[in-house]
Structure 1
């Protein structure tokens, strides 16, 4: 027997699922001193907690003859979010499959009438979220009178989310003789108080070492200019080319905007936030599991409890609110012994705050610059060569096509076309300015690119109030003025207008083309007024004062109005201006 201390039916399930050894927390909860006792367990995310409490409550559920006939539930697992509850259900289903356990799942966003029917048919284990479980309890659909074990999974998060009253009502309805297993990554005072009220002489188990950082996660902190966060994210995704990556934002609006940006750049991405229905969430997660999508943009709560075996990269697009949020986010990767990378994107003015957070979490992070296009191309070459040299099985049709290609082109030409096709399918990397005060000042002092020493300024009557964005302004100028991207210099977006440079040599041609295209087809773009102007006041003032001061609070960050070196990071709501 591979697992001598585990009930035989569950040991068979572990072996069939590929387990060769138990994780530290799984071994700890089934030791002799923990059997039959209330437990308070601290373990890192991804350490196998679900299987751990599945093993821990086996003695209460499985008698010598196995499980009794399903009726009033014998065990209850409470989780903070729908995704985590669904994940717990999936894990317990395979763990207790050979025992014939019936498991009912009760979460918000699902059909409550179906859940009530499932409960009326009988269940051995019920898994759910606090609000939905309380609702079934108050309606008389959930009978807790036969309860032998209750598990509170990620209890600290449930209290943070305001579920204290729900938890107390549910626990008060359970028999006094039941086991209570409390799993929490941290042990703040509210958790200690909850344990003291509902547990009896609980055994304390902790598999969290002095190093609170996850041993299988490599942490990196990448400094960037506040206005270039999106570009840095694009380059990080391209540099790592992770099988699955998760990007964390602070708000629904920012998730929506970043998701749209990545889709536009050619990434296969999905979004998870509170504005998505349960069906949309399920579809997004399924797309990640079956590899139709490789990037997930999410808020903290929406990503809680998600377990994706292929997730190897976490990017904190916006700085976590505290050390605990940093660990919970990062814990989506580096699970079950696999290696993962967590990258914190740090606007350079906020570096000290992040350094303090990392010290508080006792995490050693490698500070580095965002990947450059050269870094990305170097990695691309190695990945491409490895992929093309990997042995593959060819069928007859493949060989026929290969023979025809060799008959019409040289091997070098065919290989070159193949390389070009692979590169064309990859989103282009972004040029970045180094994430330091000095680099930003140097970039802003260097106002002209080569060829833009002699320029004419023009203005257009849209600005930040109309959500003006360089990504659609530049193509618009090329269409209206019959010029190329390389013939547009600096773009300065103000509150109600935008100024931009055109080299003097092409200024007349540009102005004539703008007049000819004004009003054509009556579309929104042709309705924008473009005319020659003086240099913007901001430009003249900066020439007198020298390098600009540091951005004050609110500039250059999400939705801010700091100096522009690229597209704005986030917008509130949808762009109102014309789209390219």
Structure 2
């Protein structure tokens, strides 16, 4: 049995049963508070074990020297968290940590039945965990008795202030007894956090763990540069390349969450969505699907960035760049927890790299930039995983021997192996083609830019029977050519739009493949006909000369009394005087009124 010095024995046994062999830095720090039982302002990284830290720190205060709690009555401890998910997670953590103390733990969170919570409070609870808004409702309705409260914990205090809960927090702290213990946990300590601590804590001890000074060593940060129109393809390839047991894809808006969820679902991923527009029941079911393996990918807004603890979360993908360093760290902190390794991947457009690097520099995170995994790399990684499958090393069981021999006798080893490979690959989503982005050293002002199509050594021109009249645009013509003709973007050169047709330049090395793919009728989608040309076509200028007789504006406007500007030859005067053109104002025009004499 492992001994944890300074911890209440009942909690020490719970940690031992949970498999703890050593405490984290923040857990050790709260045990070494001087004086013991003092208020504390703790800044520690996400995933560093803060919930267990304040659980073991509060135990002596709540138990008051005893081994077990007496009958539950008015709450002795209160923990406040910014989101429903985090509050419910804190409750689960405290339940196993305080299991041997007989503690009754109640939750008060938005989105749940308030009548059920009120009945739980009436029956009595030793510790209450809740969100600011719902706790304020119970206090105002006199359902939550704060008179016996010995300690209050504010978890993720910076996030609660960012979400606009300052007034609610002040109301809760004002309702608590003055002679209480107050612990604040925050990823960063801003001026507003410091002011809140100054007003509601007494001689608080400031704790900063060493982990706050450096990036989380269990998280491998990766930066992938993708052209904007291929962002979704890049995310799909990243998900396929890592094949994580659980993956979180973060977006900045609900609309993007819904779009990506639909796209991933169509591509065969087991995916769920998580955003603020969902009810509490829907959000709970989505997280449960991730935990029990029914879903492997969760697309979420930042509502999920705090408080979600998925044991098998191995990959975090930032589909949209986070707005600040705190959000970046909290998003990434969903993985790489409790000693497990994880990957945090940023999908960034080339012109957004400089902003991303500023964000990473402020967060003290370092990474190397690269292109998203190509389709070939994804397929190669699939083969590597298949070769390393432990089922291939397991001995044949007795109940399998007879059928294995019959299978080999009928089809042969090679055919059986081929069928096995086909079955394995058939379960996986096909990877996407992505453009490789040239990576430059960011240096001073140099940025990545989309690889420019160089002039081909030899090229062939084709005519497409669609032009400006038919609203033809390169942005949908290029994908059309790639799909229908099995081309890559690098094999497509110049595109010249005409009124009724479009000229497209292709690399000579792909011409035969292109022609054989589109077939003898040479038709693309939308009934677009393709014609191969000899040589370079003559291009009509986009803005050609205006037709004869068109009105032309004067180059400059002359003054009324001559001088200043010139007129074109075809400009027509409005009148003549003494045989000479007159360009002034026509007679009968409005005149300015004379100024009356004083």
What interval of TM-score do these two structures reach, taking the shorter chain for normalisation?
A: 0.7 to 0.9
Quote the offset at 1:505 in angstroms. 10
Distance 1:293 1:500, change over 3 A: farther
Alignment partners' CA distance in 1, 2:288 and 2:502: 45
Q: Distance in 2 between matches of 1:421 and 1:284?
A: 28
- Is the aligned partner of 1:230 residue 2:240? no
The answer to whether structure 1 residue 137 and structure 2 residue 177 are counterparts is no
Name the CA distance, whole Å, in 2 between partners of 1:285 and 1:469. 38
Aligned to 1:403: 405
Which structure 2 residues correspond to residues 248-397 of structure 1 after superposition, within 5 A? 248-387=250-389, 389-392=391-394
Distance 1:210-1:161 versus aligned 2 partners, 3 A rule: closer
Counterpart of 2:450 in structure 1 is 440
Show the 5 A alignment for 1:117-136.
117-136=119-138
Q: Helix, strand or coil: the match of 1:98?
A: helix
Q: Are positions 1:33 and 2:34 aligned together? A: yes
> Which residue number corresponds to residue 55 of structure 2?
54
Instruction: Report the counterpart of residue 159 of structure 1 in structure 2.
Output: 161
Q: Determine if contact 2:106/2:129 at 8 Å carries over to the other structure.
A: yes
CA contact (8 A) 1:488 1:503 kept: no
185, 204, 207: which one aligns with 1:205:
207
Contact kept in structure 1, 2:375 and 2:432, CA below 8 Å: yes
How many residues align? The count is 512
1:174 aligns with 2:184: no
Q: Name the residue aligned to 1:558.
A: none
CA distance in 2, matches of 1:364, 1:211: 13
Partner of 2:582: none
Partner of 2:462: 454
Higher relative contact order (CA 8 A, sep 6+): 1
TM-score (norm 1): 0.80
Distance 2:371 2:528 in 1: 40
Contact 2:10 2:67 in 1 (8 A): no
Q: 1:487 to 1:320 in 2, by over 3 A?
A: closer
Determine the C-alpha separation between the residues in 2 that align with 1:461 and 1:214: 56
Moved over 2 A (4+): 208-212, 388-404, 435-446, 452-464, 468-471, 484-490, 497-511, 529-534, 540-545
The question of whether the paired residues in 1 share the 8 Å contact of 2:69 and 2:102 is answered with yes
Cross-structure match for 1:92 = 94
Q: Secondary structure at the match of 2:153?
A: strand
Question: How far apart are residue 435 of structure 1 and its match?
Answer: 2.5
Name the SS for the 1:150 alignment partner: strand
Contact 1:456-1:503 at 8 Å conserved across structures: no
What SS is found at the alignment partner of 2:345?
strand
Structure 2 gap ranges (5+): 439-446, 505-513, 532-536, 543-598
* Distance in 1 between residues matched to 2:212 and 2:94, nearest whole Å: 30
Q: Deviations over 1:344-378 (max 9, x none)?
A: 11100111111111111111112122111222122
TM-score, length-scaled by structure 2: 0.77
**Aligned to 1:365, what secondary structure does the other structure show?**
coil
Q: Which whole-Å deviations, capped at 9, do the CAs of 1:211-234 have from their partners, x for residues lacking one?
A: 442121111111111111111111
2:149 to 147, 150, 154: 147
Rounded Cα–Cα distance in structure 2 between residues aligned with 1:155 and 1:40: 10
Residues 487, 503 of structure 1: 8 Å contact kept: no
- Cα distance in 2 for residues equivalent to 1:542 and 1:101: 83
CA contact (8 A) 1:372 1:432 kept: yes
Aligned to 1:270, what secondary structure does the other structure show? Answer: strand
